[in-house]
C-alpha cells in the first residue's frame, strides 16, 4: 500500500511539530471524531424516530410483527439484556480510550 505524495507531506509536517503539539493535534482529532460520531448518532436517531412516526400512522401499524419490540418490554430478561448491552458498550469505550492513550504515549515517546 503506497502513500500518496500529499499524505507524505502531511505526515512530514506532523513529524516536524513538537511532541506537545503532536499530542494536542491527536487529541483534537480524537475529539472531532467523537463529535462527528455523536452527530451521526443523533441524526440516525432522528431519522429512526421520524420513520417510526411515519410507520405508526400507516396501515402497517396493525401488523403484529411490528409490535414485537413492545412485547419485549414485558419480558423479565429485557432489563438484563439492556444492562449487558450497556456494559459491553462501556467496555468498548474503555478499550478505545486505552488504545488512544497508548497511541498518544507512543507519539510522546518519539
pTM over 0.75: no
Residue 108 grid coordinates: 510522546
Domain boundaries, the chain: 19-109
3-state secondary structure 39-52: HHHHHHHHHHHHHH
Residue 65 predicted with pLDDT over 70: no
Kindly provide the residue ranges of all beta strands, DSSP E only, lying in the chain, ordered along the sequence: none
Residue 67 predicted with pLDDT over 70: no
> Cβ distance 26 to 107 under 8 Å?
yes
> Cβ distance 26 to 15 under 8 Å?
no
Handedness of CA 5, 7, 8, 14 (dihedral sign): positive
Amino acid at each position: 500500500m503506497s502513500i500518496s505524495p500529499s499524505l507524505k507531506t502531511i505526515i512530514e509536517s506532523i513529524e516536524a511539530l513538537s511532541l506537545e503539539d503532536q499530542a494536542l493535534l491527536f487529541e483534537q482529532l480524537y475529539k472531532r471524531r467523537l463529535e462527528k460520531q455523536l452527530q451521526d448518532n443523533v441524526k440516525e436517531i432522528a431519522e429512526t424516530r421520524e420513520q417510526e412516526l411515519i410507520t405508526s400512522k400507516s396501515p402497517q401499524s396493525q401488523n403484529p410483527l411490528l409490535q414485537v419490540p413492545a412485547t419485549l418490554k414485558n419480558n423479565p430478561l429485557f432489563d438484563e439484556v439492556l444492562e449487558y448491552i450497556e456494559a459491553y458498550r462501556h467496555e468498548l469505550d474503555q478499550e478505545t480510550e486505552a488504545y488512544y492513550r497508548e497511541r498518544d504515549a507512543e507519539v510522546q515517546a518519539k
